[in-house]
Amino acid sequence: MNPVKGILLKLCAVLLFITMASLIKAVAGRVPPGEAVFFRSFLALPVILTWLALRGDLRTGLRVKSLMSHFWRGFVGTVAMGCGFAALGLLPLPEVTALGYAAPLLTVIFAAMFLGEEVRAFRLSAVALGLVGVLIVLSPRLTLLEGETVETGAAIGAILVLLGAVCAALAQIYIRKMVATEQTSAIVFWFSITSSLLALLTLPFGWVMPTGSEAVLLVLAGLLGGLGQIFLTSSYRFADASVVAPFDYASMIFALGIGYFVFDEVPTLTMLGGAALVILAGVLIILREHRLGLERGRARKNMTPQG
């Protein structure tokens, strides 16, 4: 284990994903979300295949034991990605990032509902705190379809981010079930295949021919997405999940910087306050999970016969 290397890899992954999102946002005014999903997924495949080949996992990493598990994980993951990409054209990058933090909170709830995981009062309280933060971020958008067209678009964007967060949380539930029987490399590879094919189904709904600059940005988004997935997966090889997971929230720092300097987006105090609550809730859940993991490890050690 090398925690410092794991943390650095995780930070690199977070930066790559936020940069990818900013590239998608730059073309969102003209390129439909389904088309952006296709470029993001399909162009990640060469990167992922090269990574698998270098690791010697090309043959074993592509084996599948449950096709339907991969399909449903791919379906909800693709919907999450499409909703997120659509929202990037309607909301500031930091706001999309903050609302996206609802996904790990919802994962806690769905794990209790669908996996039978025990969720105690502490985690429920942290989830409630985080959801209050989400509502604070949402509060300026709660006019829904009333008001000016710009406000309506922002309200739709907020709804899309939340729908994407629900689907991202469901994808995590599928992954938790799949890792018991499927290789991590196979989950990564077949998600890109599934999302590429599903994205093609949106072709009749108005794909456009990208300009030269748009094509470059879309290609870069796909390559950075593939690299980000590799860095993310690799980070867990060098450090425990509880060590690297809190660094997901570094994405807010990157989003604020890119949003301000690239897109001239100035965050509101309401958005920052709500985001702070969501981040606090997420960190509390991670720390609690780490403590429970240590306690379970000590319990198993004490139960092991000595001598």
Give the angle subtended at the CA of 213 by the CAs of 212 and 214, to the nearest 5°. 95
Check residue 26 and give its pLDDT: 97
Half-sphere exposure of 170 (CA within 13 A, CB side): 19
Identify the DSSP state of 265.
Answer: P
Mapping DSSP to helix (H, G, I), strand (E, B) and coil, where does residue 62 land? helix
Per the structure, the count of domains in the chain is 1
Check residue 307 and give its pLDDT: 44
Torsion of Cα atoms, 62 then 68 then 74 then 80, to 10°: -160
Check residue 299 and give its pLDDT: 58
Check residue 95 and give its pLDDT: 95
**What pLDDT, in 10s, does the model give residues 13-34?**
999 999 999 999 999 999 999 9
Q: Can you tell me the distance from the alpha carbon of 19 to that of 11, in angstroms, rounded to the nearest whole number?
A: 12
Closest CA relative to residue 88, chosen from 305, 276, 230, 258: 258
3-state helix, strand, coil in the chain (%, to 5): 80, 0, 20
Check residue 199 and give its pLDDT: 97
φ, ψ of residue 283 in degrees (nearest 5): -65, -40
Q: Can you tell me the distance from the alpha carbon of 283 to that of 13, in angstroms, rounded to the nearest whole number?
A: 18
Q: Can you tell me the distance from the alpha carbon of 26 to that of 133, in angstroms, rounded to the nearest whole number?
A: 27
Note the residue count of the chain.
Answer: 307
Give 58: exposed, middle or buried? Use CB within 10 Å, 0-12, 13-18, 19+: middle
Check residue 301 and give its pLDDT: 57
Q: In which domain, by residue range, is 14 found?
A: 3-203+210-303
pLDDT in tens, the chain (307 residues): 788 898 899 999 999 999 999 999 999 999 999 999 999 999 999 999 998 898 888 877 788 888 999 999 999 999 999 999 999 999 999 999 999 999 989 998 998 888 888 888 888 899 999 999 999 998 887 665 455 555 788 889 999 999 999 999 999 999 888 888 888 888 889 999 999 999 999 999 989 999 999 999 999 999 999 999 889 888 878 887 777 888 899 999 999 999 999 999 999 999 999 999 999 998 888 887 777 666 656 655 555 554 4
Distances (CA, A) of 82 to 60, 68, 85, 285: 30, 21, 5, 27
Q: Can you tell me the distance from the alpha carbon of 162 to that of 164, in angstroms, rounded to the nearest whole number?
A: 5
pTM of the model: 0.90
**Do 37 and 199 contact (CB within 8 A), yes or no?**
yes
